[in-house]
Structure 1
Amino acid sequence: MDIATRVYNHKWKIDPIVRSLIDTDFYKLLMCQSVFHNKPDTTVTFSLINRSTQVPLADLIDEGELREQLDHIRSLSLSRGESTWLRGNTFYGKRQMFQSDFMEWFEQLRLPPYFLERKGDQYELTFEGSWPEVMLWEIPALAVLMELRGRAVLNDMGRFELQVLYARAMTRLWEKIDRLRDIDGLGIADFGTRRRHSFLWQDWCVQAMMEGLGDKFTGTSNCKIAMRREVEAIGTNAHELPMVYSALAETDEELAQAPYDVLSDWHRDHDGNLRIILPDTYGTQGFLDHAPDWLAGWTGVRIDSGDPAKGAEIAIDWWKSRGEDPMTKRVIFSDGLDVDKIVELHEQFKGRTNSSFGWGTLLTNDFRGLVPGDRLAPFSLVCKAVSANGRPTVKLSDNPEKAMGPASEIERYKRVFGVGDQERIEVVV
């Protein structure tokens, strides 16, 4: 595909930013099924949060065009082929991962309304309603904002300028792949949907990884691309689950138990490589110190904030303290990765545990330095659950730069979960 020409001749009805309800991350669908079965009546509000306030989204993106893309997403429903793929495909070695009652609901789904308002040079974009419905807005909303910002920059570029831009970006990615291809024992997946440059670019990146890395490339988080390219759909669960469960807790005792209740519910539906712990929502060390014994038998952990090497060391020590062999476990690194860090972490932990990597924004959106003013550089944009049944959600993370929630609730959560001083690490993406 000649992406530069496609961009130059762009008509959005040919290339809508989000073209399917399964143009989303696999973990969203897994979590959605869990919520559908366990907390279907919870009312949740999601909100867009631009951590990179120096990027004035409302000045760059036309509100009418943004509404048009969001309205298009609300018109989408599962196609017959997509439904057949979800119902009949084998995921993580398990056929019929998605149960009939969930699929019948999903096949009838249209995403609920959104609220959009300009506030200064930013947009306030929120979604409120039933948790299983509203949660499916997160990934497409982020993809729309990221790509519209990119299109605003690309719109002023000529045909040949675009061809050179994409040639440089392709060369950059291929050089990264070339550095990874000879690493023994490497396992790496595409985790780049939410902050990708565009759907077409993410699709190209996946194809490049397939050709360049062979069986070292383990799959993509994007369901639509996994279906199209016949690769594994990759993903487990995210911070959203413990954040909402915790907001629903009535007492400090229930709050302390909430993150484990999430995994207890998950445990009933999933086994094997889907039993991956995400321990950092309220601090990795405290979470593992107080974890029930049955969690030590899970397959691995995902490290998504703080110093990744420190997080992995904490997990290895915890497994040893619970009588588990770290070499039978998996550590998935997924926070702000690029090639140098991937190589460093792989070398540091080989022979000590099984490491793998979820490569996100700097795989699917690394256009740094390729246009004047660095106007295509990736930035930190998130869409998070900010309340549940009217109560605020809180995330502490292993990096206080990623903390979110009212200050008083953050202090309460730090007290309940025993979180002390934390090292601040700059959030790039």
Structure 2
Amino acid sequence: MIFDSRSGKIKTKITGSKWFERKEDIKQMRLPQIINSLLETDMYKFSMGQTIFHQFTSYKTTWTFKCRNKDVHFTDEMVEEIKEQVQAFCQLRFTEEELEYLDNITWIKGTYVDFLRLWQPRYEEFTITTDAPCGLAIDAAGTWLNTSMYEIPVLAIVNEVYFRMAYDYDVLLKQFKRRLDEKVRLLEEDTYRLSDFSEFGLRRRLSAEAQEMAVKAIAEVELPADSHFIGTSNVYLAKKFNLKPVGTMAHEWIMCTGQGNHKHNPAYSNWYALDAWVKEYGILNGIALTDTITTDCFLRDFQLTYATLFSGVRHDSGDPYEWGDKMIAHYNSLGINPRTKTLLFSDSLDFERATALYDYFKDKAKVAFGIGTFISNDTDEEALNIVMKTTKCNGMDVAKISDVAGKGMCKNPDYVDYLNRCIDYRMKNDK
């Protein structure tokens, strides 16, 4: 992608093709382009994307942005910049070098890589307005195959636009560097015990610059025996720094596979999700997310076959100690040694909380951590708590219930009531 100073247009090249002009005028974009590669997304978008491509190509979804911060407001200027940045993102294409990188990942299949060679984001599928209490409303609607790929880059754009335009970015970056240097010093001094940990902060990072700085710094630290930096969920940075791209499934996977088919009882969402995953990957990519419609309901479907095939489970809401003890008890009830399974914690972690969890569970199971905002957006200012979730699939409402109040999301309270009643009925009657 280049800027043609004579025409004032962005020109983009599709591999093996000619340059073409983007219609929008770059002069309207006030900030540097935020997303510069289609690899700049979380790894689970490719693991889910491949399975969507092979099994759910006809599914259509609607995604909705939500800002959970009560005191945050996006100005009209911010919203216009977000529009411009999303338009620039929609001009990107995968390069052959990027496709070759994906093709060399063990579980990615050539058919999916060929699809990605043709794939492009579509700005026509976005609706971005100021019609929301926080001043920013974003919806995206289209095939699940397309719209799933929008979530992470859009959130990264929103986050960086906000912090660059609402604050003095240079001051924030200095704060970020100071805190990052302190993290690195404490890591080197063996203050923390982080087991296998990864960086998960793309969607809420301060900026692309800050996230790259943090990943590079931590990757270069000589860590003590009880801490191992595995990699990052940001596929672009994993490629750049020769790290492992980390990620398996997100809540959308369980929501859409389990609630998007009108014939399914949504209380069995986890079974449909686990079944489709095993059909695609067998024993690969084996970390299951438990809390989409509550962990207690998940465990009804996570019986001997799936508990054996999946290498572990991921925590994303509720008390992590109660959750971990519950998972260990479940493995024991099935005759599975929990020490052979991974408990991956990823909910609002910092190094201190992760160390405490490691100390508690280290002799009971394998322990791993996905640490996001604490690594990628740690400044003197409060980070944004923003999400973009599926709210419809195939014309039906879908919902995330979660294990704690406040993390669920659905536009239709009647559907949430229906889903809860389905779950309650199953829990009482399906032993």
| TM-score, reference length from structure 2 | 0.85
User: Displacement, 1:23?
Assistant: 0.3
Contact 1:23–1:140, Cα closer than 8 Å, also in 2: yes
The aligned counterpart of 1:426 is none
Superposed counterparts of 1:78-227, under 5 Å: 78-88=94-104, 90=105, 94=106, 97-112=107-122, 113=124, 114-119=126-131, 121-154=134-167, 156=168, 162=170, 165-181=172-188, 182=190, 183=192, 186-214=195-223, 216-227=228-239
The aligned counterpart of 2:86 is 70
Contact 1:342–1:357, Cα closer than 8 Å, also in 2: yes
RMSD over aligned CA atoms reads: 2.2
User: Displacement, 1:403?
Assistant: 1.4
User: Displacement, 1:353?
Assistant: 0.7
Contact 2:65–2:139, Cα closer than 8 Å, also in 1: yes
The aligned counterpart of 1:239 is 251
What is the alpha-carbon distance in structure 1 between the residues aligned to residue 65 and residue 404 of structure 2?
20
Match status 1:282 vs 2:293: yes
- What is the DSSP-based 3-state SS (H/G/I as helix, E as strand, rest coil) of the residue aligned with 2:257? helix
The aligned counterpart of 2:397 is 392
The aligned counterpart of 1:299 is 311
> Which of these residues, 302, 317, 321, is aligned with residue 333 of structure 2?
321
What is the alpha-carbon distance in structure 2 between the residues aligned to residue 203 and residue 153 of structure 1?
22
The aligned counterpart of 1:338 is 350
Residues 153 and 220 (structure 1 numbering): CA distance in 2 closer, same or farther, change over 3 Å? same
Q: Which moved more, 1:410-419 or 1:215-224?
A: 410-419
Contact 1:180–1:339, Cα closer than 8 Å, also in 2: no
What is the alpha-carbon distance in structure 2 between the residues aligned to residue 109 and residue 184 of structure 1?
42
- What is the DSSP-based 3-state SS (H/G/I as helix, E as strand, rest coil) of the residue aligned with 1:45? strand
1:214-247: CA deviation from partner (whole Å, max 9, x where unpaired): 5710000001001111111111101101111232
User: Displacement, 1:178?
Assistant: 3.6
Contact 1:285–1:314, Cα closer than 8 Å, also in 2: no
The aligned counterpart of 2:54 is 37
Q: Which moved more, 1:171-180 or 1:188-197?
A: 171-180
Letter aligned with residue 165 of structure 2:
A
Contact 1:195–1:365, Cα closer than 8 Å, also in 2: yes
- What is the DSSP-based 3-state SS (H/G/I as helix, E as strand, rest coil) of the residue aligned with 2:148? helix
Residues 339 and 150 (structure 1 numbering): CA distance in 2 closer, same or farther, change over 3 Å? same
Q: Which moved more, 1:213-222 or 1:48-57?
A: 213-222
Letter aligned with residue 293 of structure 2:
Y
* Structure 1 residue ranges, 4+ long, deviating more than 6 angstroms after superposition: 11-14
The aligned counterpart of 1:261 is 272
What is the alpha-carbon distance in structure 2 between the residues aligned to residue 148 and residue 178 of structure 1?
30
User: Displacement, 1:172?
Assistant: 1.3
User: Identity over aligned residues, as a percent?
Assistant: 28
- What is the DSSP-based 3-state SS (H/G/I as helix, E as strand, rest coil) of the residue aligned with 2:69? coil
User: Displacement, 1:418?
Assistant: 2.7
- What is the DSSP-based 3-state SS (H/G/I as helix, E as strand, rest coil) of the residue aligned with 2:219? helix
What is the alpha-carbon distance in structure 2 between the residues aligned to residue 149 and residue 419 of structure 1?
44
User: Displacement, 1:417?
Assistant: 1.9
What is the alpha-carbon distance in structure 2 between the residues aligned to residue 219 and residue 331 of structure 1?
17
Residues 185 and 402 (structure 1 numbering): CA distance in 2 closer, same or farther, change over 3 Å? closer
The aligned counterpart of 1:423 is none
1:196-216: CA deviation from partner (whole Å, max 9, x where unpaired): 111111111101111125571
User: Displacement, 1:419?
Assistant: 9.1
What is the alpha-carbon distance in structure 1 between the residues aligned to residue 366 and residue 129 of structure 2?
46
Match status 1:21 vs 2:38: yes
User: Displacement, 1:290?
Assistant: 4.0
Residues 172 and 246 (structure 1 numbering): CA distance in 2 closer, same or farther, change over 3 Å? same
- What is the DSSP-based 3-state SS (H/G/I as helix, E as strand, rest coil) of the residue aligned with 2:314? strand
| TM-score, reference length from structure 1 | 0.86
What is the alpha-carbon distance in structure 1 between the residues aligned to residue 230 and residue 214 of structure 2?
13
